[in-house]
A and B are shown apart, each in its own frame.
Chain A
Amino acid sequence: MGQRLFASYCILIYAFLLAPIVVVVAASFNAGAFLTFPPQGLSLRWYVTFFENEVFMRAIRTSLFVALITTVISGTIGTAGALYAVQFAGRLKEAVRLAMLAPLLLPEVLTAIALLFFVYAIGIGTRTMVGMIAGHVLITLPFVFINVSAALESFDPSWDLAARSLGADRLTRFRRIMLPLIKSGVIGGCLFAFIISFDTFTISFMLKGIGTSTLPIQLFDYLRTNFTPEAAAVSSLSIALTVAVVLVTEKLLGLKIHRF
């Protein structure tokens, strides 16, 4: 009795977690002109509308571009930072860790505002994407750092020592020993960086310039005035993209993600 009650309670919470996602995906196949649930017949018309909508297509391209650049920068400097923190920082380790995690501990809205003022103060404003990409790098950096340093913590230094005693130079040791062993951490971190950058709102909202709206921003603007299922189609595609990235990465590399 108690067991069953407990299980149903958990199922209820799982349903709650999935509800908005399920509803959005279901609404995207609506044949009607308005958002109704259950849908009035099935149709792909809103996907067609979406693919023909140049504004949304440009936003997707912007999002992918920003996410890619962010992932490369964050992945590189975050991995290097984690290497330093775990292997070389010594007594400074906790300080380095705190610095690398700082963007996660500060409210995103405040970081966005601070960056906005900063780009205006140095005179570049939001004409370039520098501010936005810097913001994306900041908020994704902690996730790369967490994942890579978790992988590094479980790295046995005697492997490195063994390779060294066999005459491998520093670069070879890094490439042949260290990198394969921390690969899943690096990939997990980069994956998180990509997804977070692709989905983040506040930073992009504050730092977007003219014509550099990312997909979440475009969707937000659209939803302020429209309620057609096109928004659901956009959302579903974005969800599908995220799920695909996660699944493909997992299948190919068997990743281990450390979010905390």
Chain B
Amino acid sequence: MAPKKRHLAPLLLIAPALIVLTVFLVIPYLNIILMSFRTPGNGVPYGAGWTIANYGKFLSDPFYLFQIANTLWIGVVTTLVCLVAGFPVAWQLARGSNRWRGLYYGIVLAPLLIGIVIRSYGWTILLGNNGVINRALIGAGLVDGPLPLMYNGLGIIIALTHVLLPFMILPISSALQGVDPSLEAAARSLGASRAITFRRIVLPLALPGIQAGSMLVFVLAISAYVTPALIGGLRVKTMAVTVVDALIDTFQWPFGSALALALSVIGALSVIAFARLTRTKWKAP
């Protein structure tokens, strides 16, 4: 075999994937970046010439700035709720007895295996004004009218937490699996309380998992579309919903592209900031 051929043949393995990625990912993304600098069209998707007005419009309109803040807020709260709800489960998965572990993993993965529309639909049955929870509360005489659990930020956070919990639990669990349980035993035997063992031993060692999980959850939360669209109703809109509205309903391609890119850049910047902040070594107070 000629050396040249041996060098080139493996490239045939990666070539199809690279072609697909270039044609359907790289070029479309370059196109959308160009699109965001085009002028708005009248009856057509975009007009002639170039402008930066799309970004100006977005940055100067309090409506959009408020929405960005709202979206980030929902992302932060969802991440925190996922962390608090997910950490004990991750711990149990990593340290629990083997007998039921397969089942528990199955339950943790379940939300990922069920389509997003169905999940959101399940939440409407549970959280709606006429839903299971409100009926139960009214039936028990605890409240007079239905509690507003849906069509608001609360509903979005509940549903997003459900969808994104696996992304928090699995990285933390695998980080905890890498921690030798004898470290905790050693700390305990040296007289450390449970709380101190947790703060000084477990938490620092689980930190990479927490960081990875939090970043995944945050990014997925702020770019989620279906859950806010179905659960948030018409009143509470996140950026992703507004972007799709601008593109599909009102046909503002250049402005919608600018909004979409702004959302992605803000997401990327938050992740970088978060990684910076948590990279400093964990110091127990």
Q: Is the CB of B114 within 8 A of A21?
A: yes
**Are A24 and B247 within 8 A (Cβ)?**
no
Assess the A107–B263 pair: CB atoms within 8 A: yes
B230 at the A/B interface (Cβ < 8 Å)?
yes
Identify B110's interface contact among A21, A84, A215, CB under 8 A.
A21
A185 at the interface (CB under 8 A from B): no
Subset of 16 A-B contacts with CB under 8 Å:
A7-B92, A13-B89, A20-B162, A21-B122, A37-B135, A77-B20, A80-B16, A85-B14, A96-B14, A109-B243, A111-B28, A113-B256, A115-B24, A201-B226, A235-B117, A259-B170
Q: Which of B29-37, B149-157, B199-207 participates in binding chain A?
A: B29-37
Q: Are B29 and A260 in contact (CB under 8 A)?
A: no
> Which A residues are in CB contact (< 8 Å) with B110?
17-18, 21
**A113's contact among B23, B89, B257, by CB below 8 Å, is which?**
B257
The B-contacting residues of A in range 201-227, CB under 8 angstroms, are 201-202, 206, 215-216, 219-220, 223
Cα–Cα distance between A239 and B112 once the two chains are bound (Å): 11
Whether a CB of chain A sits under 8 angstroms from the CB of B83 is no
A-facing mask of B107-129, CB < 8 A → 1, else 0? 11111111111110111111000
B10 at the binding interface (Cβ < 8 Å) = yes
How big is the A interface, by class? Answer: 35 or more
Residues of A within 8 A of B (CB): 2, 6-7, 9-10, 13-14, 16-21, 23-24, 27, 35-37, 76-78, 80-81, 83-85, 87-89, 96, 99-100, 102-103, 106-111, 113-118, 120-121, 134-135, 137-138, 141, 195, 198-202, 206, 215-216, 219-220, 223, 231-232, 235, 238-239, 242-243, 246, 259-260
Query: How many Å from the CB of B156 to the closest CB on chain A?
Result: 14
Nearest CB in chain B to that of A224: its residue? B230
Q: Which residue of B lies closest to A63 (CB)?
A: B115
Residue of A whose beta carbon sits closest to that of B167: A260
Tell me whether A239 and B162 are in contact (CB under 8 A): no
CA distance A91 to B18 in the complex (A): 17
Which residues on the B side are within 8 Å of A107 (C-beta)? 219, 223, 240, 263-264, 267
CB-CB under 8 A from B88, the residues of chain A are: 6, 9-10, 13
Q: Residues of B contacting A100 with CB < 8 Å?
A: 17, 21
Tell me whether B10 and A19 are in contact (CB under 8 A): no
Chain B neighbourhood of A96, CB < 8 A: 14
Asked if A18 and B107 sit within 8 Å, CB to CB, the answer is yes
Q: Which B residues, 94 to 145, have Cβ-Cβ distances below 8 Å to chain A? A: 104, 107-119, 121-126, 130-132, 135
Interchain CA distance A114-B21 in the complex, whole Å: 13
Q: Which residue of chain A has the shortest Cβ distance to B86 in the bound complex?
A: A13
B260 within 8 A of A: yes
A75 to B113, CA, bound (A): 19
Beyond the given A23-B126, A231-B121, please list 11 additional residue pairs across the A-B interface where CB-CB is below 8 A.
Answer: A7-B92, A20-B125, A21-B110, A107-B240, A111-B29, A117-B28, A199-B113, A219-B115, A232-B125, A235-B118, A242-B114
- Determine the chain B residues whose CB is within 8 A of the CB of A83 once the complex forms: 13
Given contacts A20-B123, A138-B20, contact A10 B114 (CB under 8 A): no
Smallest CB gap from A199: residue in B: B115
B104 pairs with A14, CB closer than 8 A: yes
